[in-house]
Chain A
Amino acid sequence: MNIQGWGEIALTLGLACLLGRPIGVYMSRVWNGERTWLDPVMKPVEGVFYKLGGVDPARSQGWLGYAGALLAFNLAGFLFLYAMLRLQGVLPLNPQGFDGVSPHLAFNTAVSFVTNTNWQSYGGETTMSSLTQMAGLTVQNFVSAATGATIAAALARAFIANRGSGVGNFWADLVRTTLWLLLPLSFVLAIVLVGLGVTQTLAANATATTLEGGQQTLSLFQTASQLAIKQLGINGGGVFNANSAHPFENPTPLTNLITAVSINVMGWAAFFAFGRSVLAKKEARALATAAFLILFACTAGIYVAESQPAPALVAAGIEQPVNMEGKETRFGLAASSAWAGQTTGASNGSVNAMHGSLMPLSGGLTMFLMALGEILPGGIGSGIAIMVVMAMLSVFVAGLMVGRTPEYLGKKIEAREIQFAMIAVLVLPLAILGFTAIAAVLPTAMEGLLNHGPHGLSEMLYAYISASANNGSAFAGLTANAPWWNTTLGISMLAGRFVPAVAVLAIAGTLVAKPRLAPSTGTLPTHGPLFIGLLIGVILILGGLQFFPALSLGPIVEHFQMLAAGAGV
């Protein structure tokens, strides 16, 4: 640990949050249909989509209509991608001549990209053709991110409405988020990244002569364009298997900083956009502050844990000041720690270091960050949406203590809202703990494990947490390209994405019809330090209570065993 390292972490995390503000204001304008400077370019393009789809963008849908459209669109996206993956071998733009992928891998991959998870049971450069990467995966990188944003847009409309009915038009939200927000920002970022040395070409491979005089074939790909939306869309699925540890994807410390910041910037932007759209900027800032504090604390924990040499190695007299296993020396400890925190706090899942090689406690922290439901700041829109659910639960539990029935942002929180909030909360432990417990006693599943004992449990737990929380990062060590893993992880991703999404839209549906109440001095203030502390407490206790037993058998016991091993030698 050193000042420079702390500075690096503070800069990366802080910059993302600060940049999120102006982008959030813009995002809110896009959601609200206010005027923007891109209107002259995008309005005509937008119109074409509506005409083709026969959609009236001004018609506000009820929550069921909205959710139905969302599910239908994603189902279509899944089927399209599945077909493309299976037929890859006979489709054009396949310079490396890859075959179609197996049914279970195609299912897993299609689900993974549609759900904004980008879990990759495969190595990109050795499995996917250029067509699949560009027209299949990258397209989903855009629209799955936009789908997340629509959830927050609908929820915002529900809060601002006073005895309203519709929560907005899904198609309009989808098209506008993609055209106004994701495309232009990715375009700019991709250009910048190309300028900084990230590859971008349709050519197949480059051949290099190594120092020993051997020949090495290097995959190049159109990396920059994918990388931009991989980060901004909080997708995380890399072109290369090594993801952002690969020198073509992340060549310099500067690209590392830019891509690290872009992991979280859109998540934060959605927080601020929600606040502006609901006329509750102070409240949204409180949510962001709570999320930022947890994220920073956990990232700091990772940095501290990684700065300790393994006790057993110290005892064995091996010189190793910090834990550098699985990290890129180009980036070092602080940048790797910051990335690990950011990518798991958001539902990104890109990595610039191997999480399986983290110290047990940091590995546990990355799992904990994801298991909190990807709200720090999470995916675009999906993060703030679940954060609002957490705020509603906090208000509900503790808010009674001011002597009023609970309300949040002017809306009463009653049985229906709590019911859907609990459904949104329940799906994560159900998928994560349920599948892990089954896999833990299933020989078929355990064939995929590299390690046994607590580390093996961590490998499984991490995989299901990552999939259910739609993160997509991997712990390494687990060979997931097998029917059991591809199928159950695919189901986890589906459950983790669409159950909370529909639950949040259902909450929007009940809230939209309620009167928006005026606050009084008797109303629980939901913007001060007190509320921030309360919210942090509820998030940590709720998350901790669900996953503490499982984590104690994985990373926690591994940590104590590591300490004991060090002391024992």
Chain B
Amino acid sequence: MTQVAIDHASHRTALAGGLSGAILGRALRDAFVKLNPVKLVRNPVIFTTWIVALLATVSAAAGIGSGQGFGFALQLALWLWATVLFANVAESVAEGRGKAAADSLRATRVTTKAKLIVDPITGAIVPTPAHELDVGAIILVEAGDVIASDGEIIEGVASVNEAAITGESAPVIRESGGDRSAVTGGTTVVSDWIKVRITAKPGATFLDRMIAMVEGADRRKTPNELALGVLLAGLTLVFLIAVVTLLGLGAYSGVKLDPIVLGALFITLIPTTIGGLLSAVGIAGMDRLLKVNVLATSGRAVEAAGDVDTLLLDKTGTITFGNRMAVEVIPVPGVRPEAALRAAIMGSLADETPEGRSIIELGRNAGLSLSLPVGARAIPFSAVTRQSGVDAGGKTWRKGAVDAVLKTVGLDEGQAPAEFRQAVDRIARSGGTPLAVAEDGVLVGVIHLKDVVKPGVKERFADLRRMGLRTVMITGDNPVTAAAIASEAGVDDFLAEATPEDKMRLIKAEQARGRLVAMCGDGANDAPALAQADVGVAMQTGAQAAREAGNMVDLDSDPTKVIEIVEVGKQLLITRGALTTFSIANDVAKYFAIIPAMFVVGLPALGALNIMGLHSPQSAILSAVIFNALVIIALIPLALRGVKYRAIGAGKLLSRNLLIYGLGGLVAPFVGIKLIDIVISALGLA
């Protein structure tokens, strides 16, 4: 049985490994490659830093900043370069994990030739490289073969090992027709054979898309990233104005300003922290999804996940275990409860259905373990008798539909004991299924079969409610059953006797009310709804149409995953907001470090603003620049890990994060700059 509360450790993933030394090494190398200004233009804040670092280097070399000494100018220039480099390291490290995952995926690409069927009648095959397979081509895949490309089974049934994609080594059954007919390139047929019609163009297979996504090759900026980029560029302009105009204001005030110092002030003021970490935060968000084995087709989808208001959840498999389970056996008057239970178990010993096994399980939990007597004869269930059972040693046990069993024991509905009829009624009303039990042709009791809500689901939904999400249960059950399960699971609403069209209507209605909707699905008939939903999570085991319609694919095919996806989305946005707030709040302290340092020579009265008591003007400026560079490095782990999301409601969450990242952002640089100042003045660097 799967657990609802998802255990990260159990998600062995081929895709997301830890941060190994190799990844770090490559990240450092990449950080230098990224100094290429053509690539940096994408990030205006860091590009601006690059330009200032270059200007500072040139003027340090030319001795323009000689008023402050060559060593000082050089140190400033070097730390400005370090700022750019640290931002690059952040991005490279974030990309590193994806690249490592992409490499392992690439290794699974098909190198052997596919068996292309050139003549459907004779079945003649021609070995063909995978990249020459066009859409519509039909290939034969036999045991031991790797499937060359994505496709649909048109003939045959086979067990397929999909470990290359999902990391799950247990083979799955794939067969023609229905929702289990899709196969993925790179997976291996373990037994039997299938004929597959290719559905993906060469280079556009699921595997290819996956590699591109984990590598971040076609990573586009998300809407929120774009907006944040505009804000950061705007702030950069504001500070450009504030710093450049100091030339005129300073000249009026009789202060000669060193251009390198002005450049340093400018760089410390512009939001280099968030500017340097922004893309790392985005990549890390995708990466966190990968860790839970979910593949998003775009960063936009991850962002939308954080905004979801309404969650549509299929009842079966998500809220309840897929099968009905026995929860009690109610005896008829005059029969001891143990006897009724024993009869129910005996009647189920030969029953391999989940319902049957749940009855045996119920007995085991009550301390009653029985085994099939030697020479017992199993009476299988049939649509005619609508009951099953066991004959052994001259005794008979039967269980089945109430009216069918009553008929077997020779009773009319009205003749059954009143207590029995009441129990049957009660079970039906609560959304359960009653099964009558007879021993040796005598009615002994009724089994209560029930759709059991998974443990922990109710608490999970309460969390979601605190996050501001509404949960809607979708089920094919009748409204009575649906209502009973809905109230037990604690969902906010339910849609009973739902057809795919109903689902679609519900999504559109929610969206019209200004809500964002997330859902998961696997069937071909889910495809339109998956496409309509703002976040559509398709199951990897699902139909090809569903996988193409959704904007995420869950490689574990676990429908509860959508809850985690929402959390990852929120975490991504919170991290971005926290770092932005921190970055801007930092500026206050930098003013108090640099402004007095710049002007104190010409206007000694401004020394009063040196509230940190920094050693000298030079050490003050250098400390601010060093802090500004080091804070990027210090925050890389947070950017990669993400700020923890807590389901405590928006108000509380905001006050908590404002306290940590807003107030913390105000205070931290005062402490940090002071400490750096102590160190560099002790070392005699300034």
Q: Which residues of A approach B to under 8 Å, CB–CB?
A: 162, 393, 396-406, 410, 413-415, 417-419, 422, 425-426, 429-430, 433-434, 436-441, 454, 456-457, 515-518, 520-525, 528, 530, 534, 537, 541, 544-550, 552-553, 556-557, 560-561, 563-564
Whether the Cβ atoms of B239 and A530 lie closer than 8 Å is no
- CB contact list, B217-274 vs A, under 8 A: 223-224, 226-231, 233-235, 237-239, 241-253, 269
Given A398-B658, A433-B242, A441-B248, also A403-B309 (CB < 8 A): no
CB <8 Å contact, A523 and B468? yes
Contact A429-B234, Cβ < 8 Å, known A404-B307, A522-B467? no
Whether B515 pairs with A418 at a CB distance below 8 angstroms is no
Q: Contact: A545 with B658, CB < 8 Å?
A: no
Contact: A400 with B577, CB < 8 Å? yes
- Whether A564 lies near B605 (C-beta < 8 A) is yes
List residues of chain A with CB within 8 A of the CB of B661.
401
Interchain CB contact under 8 A, A437 and B247? yes
- When chains A and B are docked, how far (Å) is the Cα of A541 from the Cα of B231? 15
| Distance in Å: Cβ of B154 to nearest Cβ of chain A | 44
Q: Would you list which residues of chain B between 428 and 473 have a CB under 8 Å from chain A?
A: 465-470
Q: Is the CB of B309 within 8 A of A520?
A: yes
Q: Is the CB of A520 within 8 A of B251?
A: no
CB distance from A134 to the nearest CB of B (A): 41
What distance in Å separates the Cβ of B199 from its nearest Cβ neighbour in chain A?
Answer: 35
Whether a CB of chain A sits under 8 angstroms from the CB of B608 is yes
Task: List, sorted by A's number, 11 A–B pairs whose CB atoms are closer than 8 Å.
Answer: A405-B307, A415-B226, A417-B227, A422-B230, A426-B238, A456-B252, A515-B514, A525-B651, A549-B243, A550-B245, A553-B599
Known: A437-B244, A456-B252. 10 other contacts (CB 8 A): A398-B658, A401-B657, A418-B231, A426-B237, A518-B513, A522-B650, A528-B651, A545-B239, A550-B246, A552-B599
Q: Is the CB–CB distance between B253 and A398 below 8 Å? A: no
Where the two chains meet, the residues of B that have a C-beta atom closer than 8 Å to any C-beta of A are: 223-224, 226-231, 233-235, 237-239, 241-253, 269, 303, 306-307, 309, 465-470, 513-515, 569-571, 573-574, 576-578, 580-581, 584-585, 587-588, 591, 595, 599, 603, 605-606, 608-609, 643, 645, 649-651, 653-655, 657-658, 661-662
Q: How far is the CB of A383 from chain B (nearest CB, A)?
A: 21
B-chain residues with CB within 8 Å of residue A436 when the two chains form the complex = 245, 248-249
Nearest B residue to A552 by beta-carbon distance?
A: B595
Chain B neighbourhood of A563, CB < 8 A: 605, 608
**B584 near A561: Cβ-Cβ < 8 Å:** no
Structural contact, A530 and B651, CB atoms closer than 8 A? yes
Please, which residue of chain A has its CB at the minimum distance from the CB of B223?
A: A414
Whole-angstrom CA separation of A561 from B600 in the bound complex: 12
> Are B249 and A524 in touch, CB under 8 angstroms?
no
A306 smallest CB distance to B (angstroms): 21
A417 and B248 alpha carbons, distance in the complex (Å): 33
Is there an interface contact between A560 and B605, defined as CB atoms closer than 8 Å? yes
B606 and A556: CB pair below 8 A? Answer: yes
With CB as the reference atom, state the residue of chain B lying closest to A544: B588
**For B223, what are the chain A residues with a Cβ–Cβ distance below 8 Å?**
405, 414-415
Instruction: Give the chain A neighbours of B269 by CB distance below 8 A.
Output: 545
Given contacts A398-B581, A436-B248, A553-B250, whether A415 and B227 have CB atoms under 8 Å apart is yes
Q: Are the CB atoms of B591 and A419 closer together than 8 Å?
A: no
Q: Knowing A438-B248, A556-B609 touch, does A534 contact B309 (C-beta < 8 A)?
A: no
B591 touching A549, Cβ below 8 Å: yes
Residues of chain B lying within 8 A (CB to CB) of residue A564: 605
Q: Quick one: given A397-B580, A524-B650, are A545 and B242 in contact (CB under 8 Å)?
A: yes
A401 touches B581 (CB 8 A): yes
A401, A541, A557: the one within 8 Å of B578 (CB) = A401
Report the minimal beta-carbon distance from B277 to chain A, rounded to whole angstroms.
14
Kindly state the separation between the CA atoms of A461 and B513 in the bound complex, as whole angstroms.
50
Contacts of A549 in B (CB 8 A): 242-243, 246, 249, 591, 595
B467 and A405 form a contact (CB under 8 A): no
Instruction: Give min CB distance, B573 to chain A, whole Å.
Output: 5
Given A436-B248, A546-B238, A522:B230 Cβ within 8 A: no
Q: How far is the CB of B403 from chain A (nearest CB, A)?
A: 48
B663, closest chain A residue (CB):
A537
Contact of A545 among B229, B569, B587 (CB under 8 A): B587
Complex Cα distance, B661 from A311, in Å, reads: 40
Q: Which residue of B lies closest to A525 (CB)?
A: B651
The distance from the CB of B79 to the nearest CB of chain A, in whole angstroms, is 21
Asked whether A405 and B470 contact (CB < 8 A) given A397-B584, A522-B650, the answer is no
Rounded to whole angstroms, the CA-CA distance of A361 and B571 in the bound complex is 44
